[in-house]
Chain A
Amino acid sequence: SQTIHQWPATLVQPVGSPLSLECTVEGTSNPNLYWYRQAAGRGLQLLFYSVGIGQISSEVPQNLSASRPQDRQFILSSKKLLLSDSGFYLCAWSPGRDYGYTFGSGTRLTVV
């Protein structure tokens, strides 16, 4: 069966520090991968998605970037965090169009 792993679960980082969040999927190949951000009690904002290795689509201009160095690995990064980068970050995967997403358990990022 397919599983998605996202880590760390929580992270407290100072303003101006770098960020690297990792997401991996097991049990499938060539998944579509997604990064979302969620403000407290609010909706889901799509940040990046990828349909293949090295293929990244950005949805929102921001202080973040994403990379897909391997088929089942998706990384969310920042060179210098801002206070406004705080939030709940979710990784998700799907087999392709017209399929639902499976979400990871999320990373709670607090920038201080």
Chain B
Amino acid sequence: GQQLNQSPQSMFIQEGEDVSMNCTSSSIFNTWLWYKQEPGEGPVLLIALYKAGELTSNGRLTAQFGITRKDSFLNISASIPSDVGIYFCAGQLQGGSEKLVFGKGTKLTVNP
């Protein structure tokens, strides 16, 4: 089936550093979404992107919908300890079914 390649798989950074993660695919997507999951909780939607080239910010988070509609990135600026968690990208395939396709996640650890 269709896959989203999310990288990196894990990141270990110092508080205050900037973070960048991305998702790529060989397929075209109509929608890109970024979720954060904290331990023992369900994923929470951070940013939704609906147009190719769209750049959207949510506080210290910035995400972009790639112009080719096959990729997206998420940046976190000036990381803080509460940024710890697993970040998932997800996309709605062009012409696809009702289901989102999820990446395998990026596990972020922030050292104080």
Contacts and interface: CB of A to CB of B under 8 A. Distances in A.
Interface of A: 6, 32, 34, 41-44, 46, 49, 51, 90, 92, 94, 96-106, 108
B41 A97 contact: no
B98 A42 contact: no
A50 to B, nearest CB: 9
Interface string B31-47: 10101000011111100
B86 A106 contact: no
Interface residues of B, number: 24
Contact of A32 (B98, B102, B105): B98
B99 interface: yes
Interface string B54-75: 0000000000000000000000
Contacts of B42: 6, 90, 92, 103-106
A106 B41 CA distance: 6
Contacts of A6: 42
Which 10 interchain pairs have the tightest Cβ spacing? A103-B42, A43-B104, A100-B33, A98-B31, A100-B45, A106-B42, A44-B102, A98-B92, A103-B43, A90-B42
Interface string B84-99: 0010101010000011
A103 B44 contact: yes
Contacts of A92: 42
B43 A98 contact: no
A78 B52 CA distance: 42
Contacts of B50: 98
B24 interface: no
Given A97-B98, A98-B50, A106-B41, A41 B107 contact: yes
B25 interface: no
B9 to A, nearest CB: 10
Given A44-B102, A100-B33, A103-B35, 15 more contacts: A32-B98, A41-B86, A46-B99, A46-B102, A49-B99, A94-B98, A97-B98, A98-B31, A98-B92, A99-B31, A100-B45, A103-B42, A104-B42, A105-B41, A106-B40
Contacts of A51: 98
